[in-house]
Structure 1
């Protein structure tokens, strides 16, 4: 399983959360504590919002701990909203096109989880994409496919409802194939202003998701805490979505039929 971090708040250098904390994302790429696999070495990616509506992204197939470019970029890029992700593949190739975060228009998305026995339902799910959104597909992961299906469903109208509909389609496809391996979906989404988190699974064992809101309003959303101040971190409940918009923190149950 992958590890990731998202930040929303006052503009800061990426290194402040990605490389400097005691249990930073770089440290987690070698020593994850709340994942099935301790090592996440199948590439990494950065995504950040700057002066344009669309985010910038950087992907690399080297392990995060072994790329000097990552530390250099994190020390130079300053942003009010950014993502970082270290990947542990669940079966698809290690390539730049398969590294998170994924972006389209103003949206950016990253994921930790899997569609159980993805190969058995991949063709059916990809067939749900119209020509416009299929043309955006660059890699082969289930994560990118989920993002594009939600984009097609209508993220602008309601991001939570869009993913509920997509996850419902995935569950039905898995049921038709009699797949018993779980659907697990812990993910992060942003349009450059709002920050969304999702945590759900078909077996009640969704990958971990935490957030910390600082006194100045800055928010960090993570797969696992980046420091040892456990009392400061809030766990997002199983089968819930969370949204950070303005000064508000909104949580609601996910309804996946």
Structure 2
């Protein structure tokens, strides 16, 4: 690691002020991505601002929405009775993230702020039409995700909570990398009053995206068979040592059909 100054934030205002006065300062949530990046010397922040202990944890149901505060861990989401009752697919998703150590430390806010192209939460947020609330504003998921590792967040902006509309039904299926458990392809399908929504993570060469062709097919018939003839453009798929673009395009269809079947 490079040298940096550690700052334990005493309040949200304190954290935001520190970020606003130092362009090289970075916030620390669970650290499941940021700490390995520091260890590999891929980042050189002047100051790290620890967000733990600011009261940004908790899960609650508010009418037809589920509200999860930013520092809530994956384990807490996976084991929450509120999540299981409102959006069981979200609890299922959280329970498949990484391993037990990662789930005990990683946070939903940290995952969304980082917007790793293979992370699971971005697919849930986009498919469910979530709203990401920060210390400054509320951002709809469709405007929040802006490409691989890119978001609408400003330098002095921190996520405080995420609000998920509760769907009629939903399911998440992923093909995980056997070592990291990151999604090589993950598909979140949500059946809502305004129609079906399908979001794909781990596959696109520009990060998480809505699969509009699948949504159109499911709007006519919400069945796994309705997706059998829907294809995914290989040119939009990521390719690496783990899977080719063609293989990922194939997996998108497989995971989507499984998710639709699971919605039933």
For normalisation by structure 2, the TM-score amounts to 0.28
Normalized per residue, the structure richer in strand is 1
TM-score by length of 1: 0.28
Max Rg structure: 2
